[in-house]
Every structure is written in C-alpha cells, then in structure tokens.
C-alpha cells in the first residue's frame, strides 16, 4: 500500500483523529508487560512518530505562511497567527541569548 496522503478535508480529519486515538491508546497501555528490548523498540518507533508529526507541523506552517493567512487575519506574522490559533506559548530563549534587534 503506497503513501497517498489525503484527498479532502474530511479524509485528513479522519487520519488525524485515527492517529490521535492510537497514540492515546499507547499512553494508557500496560508498558510493564513489554520486555526490555520491546520497550526500546517502542521508544525508537515513538521517536520516529514524533519526528514525522513535527515534519507535518512544519509542512502545515509553511502552507499557512505561503497562503498569507496571517495578513488575511490581521496578525503581525505567521508565528503570531500560529501562537493564537493553536494556543502556543512564545519560544523560550536560551540563557545568554539576545532578543532580535
């Protein structure tokens, strides 16, 4: 079975809902039943999943930026729109870093 993405908004919502449900089931699963190597394999798979979700988020943010949604909604920037729309906090600066000029 090939990776075909999605064809419409209903399908993408279904895919995200199914993924969310699966991850929620993992959170409540009896990890104590897994052997040590199985735990490490699960950890590697979850890390791959997390990185793939992050890539999807970056792809989405790029599309939002390309379409100019921030300006259309009177937001100062795409970052500001994303923080507002997705209830995100500002990125924390590392110690010793200077704010942008």
CA 75 to each of CA 1, 57, 58, 60, 66: distance values in angstroms, whole numbers, following the listed order: 41, 19, 19, 17, 14
Q: Is 88 left (phi over 0), alpha (psi -120 to 50) or beta?
A: beta
User: pLDDT, tens digit, for every residue of 53-92?
Assistant: 999 999 999 999 999 999 999 999 999 999 999 998 887 5
Q: How far apart are CA 82 and CA 77, in angstroms?
A: 9
pTM: 0.78
Dist CA 44 CA 25 (whole Å):
17
Within 8 A by CB and 6+ apart from 15, the residues are 6
pLDDT at site 33? 97
């Amino acid at each position: 079975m090939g990776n075909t993405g999605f064809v419409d908004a209903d399908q993408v919502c279904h895919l995200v809902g199914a993924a969310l449900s699966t991850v929620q089931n993992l959170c409540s699963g009896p990890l104590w039943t897994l052997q040590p190597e199985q735990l490490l394999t699960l950890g590697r798979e979850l890390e791959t999943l997390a990185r793939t979700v992050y890539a999807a988020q970056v792809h989405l943010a790029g599309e939002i930026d390309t379409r100019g949604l921030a300006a259309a909604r009177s937001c100062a920037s795409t970052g500001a729109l994303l923080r507002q729309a997705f209830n995100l906090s500002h990125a924390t600066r590392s110690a010793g870093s200077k704010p942008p000029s």
